[in-house]
Structures are given as C-alpha cells and as structure tokens.
Amino acid sequence: MRINTNVSALAAQRAMSEHTRNIENTSGKISSGTRVRSAADDAASLAIGHKQKTNVRSQNQAIRNANDAVSQFQTAEGAMNEISSMLGRLKELSLQAANGTLLDDDRAHINFEYMQTRREIERIARSTRFMSNDLLQDRAGKASDFMIGINNDSNSKMRVNSTEFTVTEFSLGLVDSNVVNADEARHNLQYIDQAINMLSEKRAKLGSYQNKVQSAINNLETSKENESAAMSRSLDADMAYETSEKLRSEGKLMAATAVLSQTSQLSSMALKLLQN
C-alpha cells in the first residue's frame, strides 16, 4: 500500500475528467441541436455540411429569383390580356363602321371611340412595368437574365430578349388606322386580325416561359429538400442517442466519484496500520 502516490485516486480523477467532458459535450449537442459544433467534433462532416448549407441557402435565393420572374411574366401577360380585349373591340368598331347603313357622321362617333381605344393600347404598352422595368417596350434589344439556378453557367440562367414581348401601335400595325369611312373600316379588319394573331403568339411564348420557370422552381424545391435532408444527417444531433450518451456518462461519473471517495480513505488506513 502506497501513501506517497495514490495511483487509484489519480485513475479515478482521470475517469471523472473524461466523463465530465463527455457530459459537457453531449449537453452542448442537445442544447444546440447540432452534432458537429466545431471541426474537432467531425472535421469531414463539418466541411461537407457547410457546403450543403451553402447550397440550400443558394437554392432558396434561386427560388425567390424564379418567383420574381413568374410575377414579372404574369404582369406582362395581364397587360397583354387587356390589350387583346381592346383589339377585339377595335374589330367590332371596324365591322360596325364598315356597315353601309351608317353615314359618315355616324362613323365619326364610332371613330372617336376607336381612336381612344387605340391610344389606350399604346398607353398600357408604355406604362406596364415591373420593378421599374418596361415590360412591353423594346429596350434597344436589351436582354434580361433570370438566375434560376445556383451556378454560373447557361443551365442556371434564362435569357429573355425585350423584343420578344414588344407591344406597341407600330408593332401591332395599328398606326394611322381609323374608321372615318367604310373603306378604311374594311381595310382595318385584315390588320387587326394580324395584330390579334401576333399578340396571341407573344402571350403563348410568355406562357411557355412561365411554365419553364415554374418547372425550375419545382426542381429547386425538390433539390433543396433532399440537400436539407443530407445536411441534417451530417450536422444535426440525434437527440435520442445524445441523451442516452449523457445519461451513460453521468452514471459513470457517479461511479468514478464513489471510487475516488474510497481511494481517499486508503491513506487513512495506512496511517492506522502504522499507529498499530
């Protein structure tokens, strides 16, 4: 029996320190909900998990970008829908003015509405904007790039040229049109039909872009869900496992404390032997 160096007490103290660290570690994981709080916990998982976290945040931003693009297309499509209704009205007025039962004085009243409707088409085309961007005007061929992915490549970018959706009196072929007489009214019918067909094509193209962006959103949401699940497996704490580890370490700490208490009595026993 040694009294100069109490080896049993040192072993018990070492075990107590180890169990205390384990309790502190598991308590930190439980309280934060994170399995990897520092690189020392799991360097590989930390590197992979943070890359995944960056991807998830980037995907969230790409989804917001795509939703903004959908909103812009919907704004433009709403304006085109109204212009389409007005083109239908222009055709009605032209047909009415072309009827031989009317006098030119009667056509003058019809022409007044015709001109006002024409001007309203131009006004809507000039005033339709989304976040200060003209949607139905030709911006000198300027293209808009919508970032609907998370990488700097063509697969993450959708380019739309402003000329694809230009809608003006000139582009629709309505400049200088009127219904002041029957001949002019009949002459307008062909050009109005062409304008209606042209606008329908632009609306169809606009709808295809909306569908394309919506598909990108659906894909991003699926990718984000899977990436989040993978990130959770890399970084999130398993609460059941960490709780059981904490309870196990606490039990070991209690045992080591009891052993340390017993080893402290060895020196006293040795002194009693010397006294006897």
CB 66 within 8 A of CB 146: yes
Comparing 246 with 276, the larger pLDDT belongs to: 246
Dist. CA 212–CA 111, nearest whole Å? 42
- Collapse the DSSP code of 16 into the 3-class scheme (helix H, G, I; strand E, B; otherwise coil) and give the result: helix
Helix (H) and strand (E) counts for the chain?
7, 4
Burial 76-113 (b: 16+ CB within 10 A, else e): bbebbeebbeebeebbebbebbbeeebeeeebeebbee
Confidence band, pLDDT 50/70/90 cuts, at residue 1: low
Confidence band, pLDDT 50/70/90 cuts, at residue 107: very high
Q: What is the mean pLDDT of residues 119-137?
A: 91
- Count CA atoms within 13 Å of residue 203 on its CB side: 15
Instruction: Give the predicted TM-score (pTM) of the model.
Output: 0.76
pLDDT tens digits, 186-224: 999 999 999 999 999 999 999 999 999 999 999 999 999
Q: What are the tokens at 188?
A: 């307008």
**Does 20 score more than 90 pLDDT?**
no
Confidence band, pLDDT 50/70/90 cuts, at residue 242: confident
Following CA atoms 161, 164, 169, 171 in sequence, which dihedral angle do they give, to the nearest 10 degrees? Answer: 110
pLDDT tens digits, 55-74: 999 999 999 999 999 999 99
**Does 276 score more than 60 pLDDT?**
no
C-alpha separations of 206 from 59, 77, 85, 203 in Å:
24, 7, 17, 5
**Does 4 score more than 70 pLDDT?**
no
Domain residue limits, the chain: 7-34+238-275, 43-235
The top-level CATH class assigned to 43-235 is mainly alpha
The residue count of the chain comes to 276
Comparing 25 with 161, the larger pLDDT belongs to: 161
**Does 262 score more than 80 pLDDT?**
no
C-alpha separations of 266 from 3, 6, 13, 253 in Å:
8, 8, 15, 20
